[in-house]
Structure 1
Amino acid sequence: MTSTTPAPPTTTSPHPQAQRRILTVLVISQILSGAGLAAGITVGALLAQDLLGSTGLAGVPSAMFTAGSALAAVAVSRISHHRGRRAGLAAGYLTGAIGSAGIIAAAVTGNAVLLFLALFVYGAGSATNLQARYAGADLATPAHRGRAVSTVLVATTLGGVAGPNLAAPTGNLAHVLGIPPLAGPFLLAGAAYALAALVLALWLRPDPLLLARTLHTTQQQAEPGTTGTPDTTGTPGGPDQLHRAAARRRSPGVLLGTLVMILTQLVMVAIMTMTPVHMHDHGHGTAASGLVIAIHVAAMYLPSPLSGWLVDRYGRLTIASASGLTLLAAGIVAATAPGDSVALLALALALLGLGWNFGLTSGTAIITDAVPLATRAKTQGMVDVAISIAGATGGLASGLIVAATGYPLLAVAGGLLALAILPAIAATARSR
C-alpha cells in the first residue's frame, strides 16, 4: 500500500486570496444545506411509513431522493462544466427547495405518488451538497486537496446536527400551521436550500472552476515550448502537465475512487435509513431518533479536517482501507445493540458516519488526482451519479431486507459488504 509524503509548507492554491473567499462562501452554503439534507433524513422513512402503512416500503423515500440525486448530479455537473460552479450549485439547491415544498404538499393531501415525485426532486439538494466538495478542490494543489475537500465537508456539520434536533420543534410548528408534524422538517429544508442557493449565486465569485481553467491556460502560455491552446491531452511540458500525465498512468484511480465512494454510500444509506424505523418499532420517539441521526451526521462531517489531513499525510489508499474497516465495526455494533439502547445505536451510527467520511474524502482525492482539469466537472458528475445510484439501491433494499429478516442482518450484511474495498485497494496497489 502506498503513502504520500508530508505536504510542503506552501500555500494551498496558486491564487490564495480567491481560494480563501471561495472556501468561506462554500462553508456558509454548506451549513445551510446541511440542515436541509439532515432534516429529510430524519423523517423521510417515517413519513412514508405513515402514509403507506408499510415498513417494507419505508426505504422508498431514501431510494427516491438518492435516485433524484443521480439525475441532479448529471445536471449540476453539466451546468458547472459550461457555466461554472456558481451556476451549477445554485441551480441544484434551488431545485432541492422546490422538492421540499412538494413533499409538504404531498403530506397535506396524503398523496403518496406526489410524495415520491417530490422526494425525487428533493434529491437535488443532496447531490449538490456533495458536488460542493469539488468546488473546494478546484484551486487546491494536489498536496492539499484532502484538506480543501475536508473544509467544505466539515461545514455541513453545523447544519447537519441542527437539522435532526429541530425535527420535534418544526413538527410542532407544522401542527400549528395545519401541516402533518412529520412534514415539519421539510419546512426547514426548503428554507435552508433556498438560502444556500442565494448565497452561492450572489457571492461565489470568482468562480473556482472557471478561475482554475484561466490560471491553467495562462500558465501554459507562459511556459516555453507551449502554445496558447489549453493542453487537455496530458502531454508533459510543465508541472501541471506532468501531474496529469502521471494521473493518466494511474488510470485505475478513477475506478478505485468510484468504487470506494459507491460502497461507502450504499452501506451508509442502507443502515442509516432503517435506524429511525428500527428505533420507532422499539418505542423510541422522534426526539430520540433525531438525536441518533444528529450524531450520525456529525460523524459524517465533523471529522473532515482530521480525515483530510490523514489523506494528505498517509495516502489515499490507507484511509480508504480504514473506511472499510470502520464500516464493518459500525455494522457489528448496530446488529448487536439492544433495541432499547439509544447509546449503542448512536455509537453504531457514529462509526457509520466516520467510515463514510473516510471513504468520501479519500475517494474524492483519488478521483481529482486522476482526472485532467478539462474534463474534471463532467467526470466528477458521472462519479456522483454512480454514488447516488448506490445510495438509491441501499435505501430501497434496506426496507425490504428489514421487513424480511430484521435490522440486525441488514447491519451485518452492510458491514461485510464494505470489506470489498480492501481487495480492490490491494489490486490497485499491486498495479502501480
Structure 2
Amino acid sequence: MTTTAPPDNTAPENAPSDSAPSDSASQDSALPDTAPLQRRVLRTLFGAQILGGLAVGIGIAVGALLVEDMTGSSTYAGLAQSLFVGGSALVVVPAVRITERYGRRGGLAFGYGCAVLGTLAVIAAIHLENPVVAVCGYFLLGSASFAGLQSRYAAADLAPAARRGSHLALIVWATTIGSVFGPSIAAVAERVWTSWFGGPAYVGSMAAIGVLCLTTAVLLTVLLRPDPLLTAREISGETDAPKRSVADGYRMAKTNPAVRTGVVAAALGHFVMVGVMAMTALHIRHGVADPEDALTVVGFVLGAHVGAMYVLAPVIGRLVDRYGARPILITGTAVLVAACVVSGSSPLGDHVRLTIGLILLGLGWSAMTVASAALVTGAVSPAQRPSTQGFSDLVMGLAAMGAGIASGPIVEYAGYGVLCVCCAAVTLAVVPFLMGRIAKPAEEPAS
C-alpha cells in the first residue's frame, strides 16, 4: 500500500500552524456544524483523562517499589517501570486496526481494557510472589498510558487548524487533575484496602487502577458518539479511503519531514522523561530510612513532576498555534537538558532540588509532546492520521522501554547522577532534526 505525503509548501516559520493538512480546508468550512460535537468530544475526553490520569499516576508511583520489593534489584524495578510507560508498544498495532474500523472510541476503550487485564495479572503475581508475572502485568497495564496519549489526537480530529494545538493541549492538561493526585492516592488506597481486606502490600493500589481503567473504558464507549475521527473522514470525503496500518505510518515518516521531526522529537522527549522518572522513586527511597515515609515523599515529588507534565499544556498549545512547533520543540529540548542537570546533581535527601528537577522534566516533556503531536497531526489528512499517529506512539513506547531497561543497571552500577548525564546527552540528539527544514503546508483560508 502506498502512502502519499502532503504537498511540500513553504509557509513562513511563524505561520499560525506548522501542520495543517492540504485537504483540511473542507473540514474547516464545516466547523459551524461540527462545533457542538467538538465541544461534546472535548468534555468526554476531559472527564476520561481525569480518571485515566489517576490510574497512570498510581501505577507510576508504585511500580518500581513493588518490583524491587519482590526481586531486591533496581534493575528489575526499572524494567517494570519501562514496561508500564512503554506498554503502549504492545497495543499500538491492534489499536490502530481497531481505530481504523471503529474510530477513536474503539481504540481508546481497547487500550483501557488491556490495562484492566494488566491489573488482574499484577494482583495475581503479588499473591503468587511471582515477579515475572508482575512485570508482564505491568506491560499490559501500560496500555492505559497509550490510551491517554491517543486521547490528545482524538481532540484534534475536529479542531480548526488554527486551534489544533490548543484543543489537543486541553486534553493533555486534563490529565493534570488525575496524575497529580494519583501518586498520593496510592498510599490512601493501600491503607483503605488493608483496613478492609488485609493481604499483601500493593494490592489496594492495583485494585484502584483496575476500577479507574474500567470506568474510563465504559465512559468513552458510551459517550464518545458520534466518533470524531469517523466524522472528520466524512467531512473530508475520505470514508472510502483504504484502511491503513502502522507500516503506512512508518512510510509516511520516511517521506514527510514534518512527520519525521515530530516522531523523533516525541520519542526522544519520552525517552528522557521516562529514563529519569523511572529511577527517581528508588533514588528517594535510598535516602529515606522509613519505607512508609519514602512512599509519602515519592507521592509528593512524582505528583509535582506529573503535574508539571500537564498543567501548562494549554499555554504550550497556544504558543504552538501562534509560533509553530519548531520554536516550542527547541525550547522543550533546552528545558529537558536543564532538568537532567538539576536532578542529577541532587544528593540523597535533597528533595527540594530533586523536586525542581522533576518539575523541569515534566515541563520539557509537555513542550515536546504537545508540539510534536500538533506537527504530526496537521501534516497528514484524516484518513492517514491513525496509522501515522500510531506509528509515532509506537516509537514513543519503544523509546520508553529502552529508557527504563537501561536506567536500572545504570543506577545500580553507576548511580542516579550518571543516569541523568546520559539522558541529557540523548536529549541533544533531536537538535539536527530541529535545525533541518520542516516542510509546511499552505495556510488555510478562513472559513
- Report the TM-score, using the length of structure 1 for normalisation: 0.89
1:279 aligns with 2:258: no
1:314 aligns with one of 305, 319, 323: 323
The structure 2 residue matched to 1:129, chosen from 148, 153, 170, is 148
194, 215, 221: which one pairs with 2:214?
Answer: 194
Counterpart residue number, 2:25: none
Say if 1:47 and 1:183, in contact at 8 Å, map to a contact too.
no
Note the alpha carbon deviations across 1:292-344, whole angstroms, 9 max, x for none: 11111101111110010011111100001111100001000001112212111
- In the other structure, the counterpart of 2:256 is 251
Matched, 1:260 2:285: no
Q: Is the 8 A contact 2:253 2:388 kept in 1?
A: no
1:225-244 maps to which residues of 2 (within 5 A)?
Answer: none
Query: Is the contact between residue 320 and residue 421 of structure 1 (CA under 8 Å) also seen in structure 2?
Result: no
Unaligned runs of 5+ in 2: 1-11, 19-27, 244-251, 442-447
Cα RMSD of the aligned pairs, angstroms, is: 2.4
User: What residue identity is the alignment partner of 2:370?
Assistant: T
Matches within 5 A, 1:2-21: 2-5=13-16, 13-14=31-32, 15-21=34-40
Equivalent position to 1:332, from 328, 341, 345: 341
- 1:297 and 2:306 equivalent? yes
The runs of at least 4 aligned residues of structure 1 exceeding 3 Å deviation read 10-14, 228-232, 247-250, 429-432
2:436 to 424, 427, 430: 427
Partner-residue secondary structure (3-state), 1:403: helix
Q: Indicate the larger mover: 71-80 or 268-277.
A: 71-80
1:244 is aligned to: none
Residue 407 of structure 1: how far off its partner (Å): 0.1
- Structure 1: how far apart are the matches of 2:95 and 2:278? 25
* Residue 362 of structure 1 pairs with residue 371 of structure 2: yes
1:255 is aligned with what amino acid?
A: R
Deviations 1:11-61 (A, max 9, x none): 994510000000000000000000001101001011110000112221010
After superposition, the Cα gap between the structure-2 partners of 1:124 and 1:429, relative to the gap in structure 1 and judged at 3 Å, is closer
Change (3 A) 1:345 1:249: closer
Tell me the distance in 2 between the aligned counterparts of 1:181 and 1:58.
Answer: 16
Going from structure 1 to structure 2, the CA distance change for 1:178 and 1:387 (only over 3 Å counts) comes to same
Aligned-residue offset at 1:114: 1.2
Structure 1 pair 248–73 and aligned structure 2 pair: CA distance change class (3 A): closer
Identity %: 36
1:178 to 2:198 alignment: yes
CA separation of 1:298 and 1:229: change in aligned 2, threshold 3 A: closer
TM-score, normalised to structure 2, is 0.86
CA contact under 8 A between 1:67 and 1:388: conserved in structure 2? yes
Pairwise CA distance, 1:171:
1.6
Give the aligned partner of residue 83 of structure 1: 102
Letter in 2 for 1:62: Q
Contact 2:30–2:235 under 8 Å retained in 1? no
C-alpha distance in 1 between matches for 2:362 and 2:395: 19
* CA deviation vs aligned residue, 1:230-278 (integer Å, no higher than 9, x gap): 699xxxxxxxxxxxxxx99982011100000000000000100000000
Is 2:65 the counterpart of 1:46? yes
How many angstroms apart in 2 are the aligned matches of 1:266 and 1:156?
A: 20
Are the structure 2 counterparts of residues 11 and 375 from structure 1 closer, same or farther at C-alpha, using a change threshold of 3 Å?
Answer: closer
Counterpart pick for 2:87 among 56, 65, 68: 68
Paired with 2:31 and 2:54, the residues of 1 have a C-alpha distance of: 29
In structure 1, stretches of 5+ residues that fail to align are: 221-227, 233-246
The answer to whether residue 166 in structure 2 is matched with residue 157 in structure 1 is no
Cα deviation digits, residues 350-402 of structure 1 (max 9, x gap) = 11011010000010011112122212111211111110000000011000110
Aligned length: 407
Checking the alignment, whether the CA contact within 8 Å between 2:258 and 2:439 is kept in structure 1 is no
In structure 2, the residue matched to 1:117 is: 136
Q: Is the 8 A contact 1:327 1:418 kept in 2?
A: yes
Relative to 1, partners in 2 of residues 1:229 and 1:73: Cα closer, same or farther, differing over 3 Å? closer
Give SS of 1:340's match.
coil
